[in-house]
Amino acid sequence: MTQQHISLPAKLINGGIAGIVGVTCVFPIDLAKTRLQNQRQGNQIYRNMMDCLVKTVRSEGYFGMYRGAAVNLTLVTPEKAIKLAANDFFRHHLAKDGKGLTVMREMLAGCGAGMCQVVITTPMEMLKIQLQDAGRLAAQQRKPAAMMASSMLASPSAVLSRSYNVGPAHAATATQIARELFQTQGIQGLYRGLGATVMRDVPFSMIYFPLFANLNRVGQTSPGQQAPFYWAFLSGCLAGSTAAVAVNPCDVVKTRLQSLTKGANEESYNGVVDCISKIMRKEGPAAFLKGAACRALVIAPLFGIAQVMYFVGIGEYILDNASINFLFS
């Protein structure tokens, strides 16, 4: 099959639009995933995803489910653009001999895409996690305070001797968090958890892109023809959810390492190995699957939407119309 020329600007536009649409649709589930992954045994606020979302709306309002969405929407365009365009770039060059890509070469292209995207993904996730987890920490502070308040009903004199501040602390913005990290720790502060992010994103891309390409190929009516958009959507959903669950243990480690603020009696970690050993010892292997269902529900539509937008070719349409308008202006 003849290799088509890759229009990098069009691919970047497609990836950016896909990321914005996808994140807007699934962000509340991603927030639930972060809060569930950060919970420790014996100090749980949420039972499951739905319980987390209901309690979030009750205590923080509807827009509480979108805490951290602004930084994600700002950085998801370059992140998704780099990921999708880099995979296309590597696939294009690895197939220069005119033969179809082997699974090994598809995985190599995915590896390259994963390595490229962490430049944006790490600081984006770092800031997003602080904002997403703030509500869980505030709820954790209110829980013992509420228990103390109920016990005081039996001893009214205790109220006179103690006062409690149970409200949530002033919510910092992503800009404030980024500025403080940069001033105190330099650029490495924004790249905390880089190793765990690479551990998550490289295997994810190595699983996702080859799996999607082969699933999508099944829907092609003839070699070289593009599969229908609904097949691209389903292929993206299945490949995305499979890859998401496969790398969920790495996502749990990354989330724990990137959480700067800890609740009462919550562990701090000194790197990937220390984090893995402490989770295994104190919470057991099941802890590495925390938030797996939420992550699958986030990634499936996110990449399904991404592939539809990508293969529809909105970027090519925008650039073609921009060129025509320029010629006739």
Cα–Cα dist 239/216, whole Å = 10
More confident residue, 307 or 135: 135
The domain containing residue 271 runs over which residues?
Answer: 8-142+173-320
266-295: average pLDDT: 92
pLDDT attached to residue 278: 94
Whether 328 is in a domain gets the answer no
Whether 230 is in a domain gets the answer yes
pLDDT attached to residue 74: 86
- What's the chain's length in residues? 329
Give 141-165 pLDDT, tens digit per residue. 776 555 444 544 444 444 333 333 3
Whether 325 is in a domain gets the answer no
Cα–Cα dist 60/57, whole Å = 5
User: Hey, what are 176's tokens?
Assistant: 């404030």
Neighbours of 265 (CB within 10 A): 9
Give 222-235 pLDDT, tens digit per residue. 777 778 888 989 99
For residue 270, what are the contacts with CB-CB under 8 A and spacing of at least 6? none
Structurally, how many domains does the chain consist of? 1
Whether 157 is in a domain gets the answer no
Give 83-133 pLDDT, tens digit per residue. 877 888 898 888 876 667 888 999 999 999 999 999 999 999 999 999 998
pLDDT above 80: residue 212: yes
pLDDT attached to residue 237: 93
pTM score of the predicted model: 0.80
Could you write out the DSSP letters of every residue in 39-99? --TT--S-SSHHHHHHHHHHHH-GGGGGTTHHHHHHHHHHHHHHHHHHHHHHHHHHTTTSS
pLDDT attached to residue 167: 39
Neighbours of 94 (CB within 10 A): 16
Whether 163 is in a domain gets the answer no
286-308: average pLDDT: 89
Whether 246 is in a domain gets the answer yes
pLDDT attached to residue 166: 35
Whether 1 is in a domain gets the answer no
Whether 2 is in a domain gets the answer no
pLDDT above 90: residue 78: no
Tell me the CATH number at 303: 1.50.40.10
Give 175-193 pLDDT, tens digit per residue. 899 999 999 999 999 999 9
The torsion defined by the Cα of 107, 295, 304 and 3, in degrees rounded to 10, comes to -10
1-25: average pLDDT: 70
